[in-house]
Amino acid sequence: MSESIDERIKRYVLDGGDADLQRLLAISDLTAGRVRDALAHVGIEPGWRALDCGCGPLGALAVMADMVGPAGRAVGVDFSDAAVRRARSVAAMLAIDNVEAHVGDVHDLGADELGGPFDVAYTRCFLMHQPDPARTLERIASLVRPGGWIVAHEPLRSPPPRSSPALEALARAWWLLHDVAEHLGVPHDSVDALPLHARRLGLEVVETSAFSNMMEPALGFGLHASTTAATRDRAVSSGVAGVGEVDALVRELRAAADDGYAWVTTPFYLALTLRVG
């Protein structure tokens, strides 16, 4: 194809109409370099089958599809029907023919049902939400061929996102998200303990590192505000925070975008590269 998938995403972000879709594609564009580098590091090749666990409305599917080429497949799975329908529509809009997305839970689906076994599986902000991350990691490994790879980019609980100058509301929003997750049964160390879980499962821990991305204030504070707003209902129903407290936090984050800040970061991610025995 004369125009790369990355170029198509950038063009749509600049020229497209659907504001929410533009936001989602902007996130994909922001994280694409990290995904591409991580997959290149494990030797991804044309013809591979790649799995995105918890793909949401796009996830890493566009990058995967580009790297595995027409002979390969980029497969996404997500429990949300709405997210999967959006992933399919985005792939169609971008004319990506080697993508498919399935509604389901990785704990319940076998490799054959998803078109595997896979050469590589990828997670981002997925294991952090699991009540038993070790079990989920074991299940993902069962979908990957012997000698295949798992690449996980999962947000660390600490440190929280940062900005210049520092904005305390960023940390409060980050702790709110984790407090809600813990109330729903997610372990306090869900991400920190992933390398230990992997070794106990017999997976080879090839590399561990951490990273964050800097963003322009308008994008960065807007994304953090949207994430906080999306947490509101569960925060209120669980008693972790009141409506007024959450809404005030969202307003503070959104106001920061126009208040002289230089930059804001994403969460700090644990980057974990595992090989399946």
What one-character-per-residue DSSP string does 53-83 give? ET-TTSTTHHHHHHHH-TTSEEEEEES-HHH
Tokens of 236: 């209120």
Query: Given this model, what pLDDT does residue 16 score?
Result: 39
- Look up tokens 């029907």; give the residue: 81
pLDDT by residue (tens digit) across 65-113?
Answer: 999 999 999 999 998 888 888 889 889 988 999 999 999 999 999 999 9
Beta pairing class for 263-265 and 214-215: antiparallel
- Stretches where the chain sits below pLDDT 70 are 1-26
Burial of 104 (0-12, 13-18, 19+ CB in 10 A): middle
User: Cα separation of 158 and 224, whole Å?
Assistant: 16
Residues near 117 by Cβ (< 8 Å), separated by ≥ 6? 49, 111, 143, 144, 145, 148
User: Cα separation of 156 and 111, whole Å?
Assistant: 29
Query: Given this model, what pLDDT does residue 227 score?
Result: 85
Query: Given this model, what pLDDT does residue 20 score?
Result: 53
Tokens of 103: 């509604």
Give me the phi and psi of 125, to 5 degrees please: 55, 40
Query: Given this model, what pLDDT does residue 57 score?
Result: 83
Query: Given this model, what pLDDT does residue 187 score?
Result: 95
User: Cα separation of 244 and 232, whole Å?
Assistant: 10
Tokens of 191: 């991400």
